[in-house]
Amino acid sequence: MPSSTRQPRLQFGIRNIASFAGAAAALGAGYLLLAGGSTDLAPILLVAGYCVLLPLGFIL
């Protein structure tokens, strides 16, 4: 007999996917700039990607 209680599933909407895509773009650009020797814009992009956009992808 199947149980009447179901486990909730994660449902990602367009805002979550857009935030994850922005995080991936910011992280990719940040690491590329870091490899190129940029020490001013690269850390800003990496912090924005890891500390802002990635968590927003899970929260929204």
The answer to whether position 20 is within a domain reads yes
Residue owning tokens 């909407």: 13
Examine residue 19 and state whether it is found in any structural domain, yes or no: yes
In a domain, 5, yes or no: no
* 1-51 residue pLDDT tens: 566 677 777 788 899 999 999 999 999 999 999 999 989 999 999 999 999
Asked whether residue 4 is domain-assigned, the answer is no
Q: Which pLDDT score, from 0 to 100, does residue 2 have?
A: 61
Range of the domain at 23: 14-59
Cα–Cα distance for residue pair 28/8, rounded to 1 Å: 32
Where residue 6 falls (left for φ over 0; alpha for ψ -120 to 50; beta otherwise) is beta
For residue 2, being part of any structural domain is answered with no
In a domain, 52, yes or no: yes
In a domain, 50, yes or no: yes
Q: What is the pLDDT of residue 4?
A: 64
Distance between CA atoms of 2 and 29, rounded to whole angstroms?
A: 48
What would the pLDDT profile of 37-56 be if each residue is shown by its tens digit?
989 999 999 999 999 999 99
The total number of structural domains in the chain stands at 1
Q: Which pLDDT score is estimated for 6?
A: 76
What is the pLDDT, as a whole number, of residue 8?
A: 74
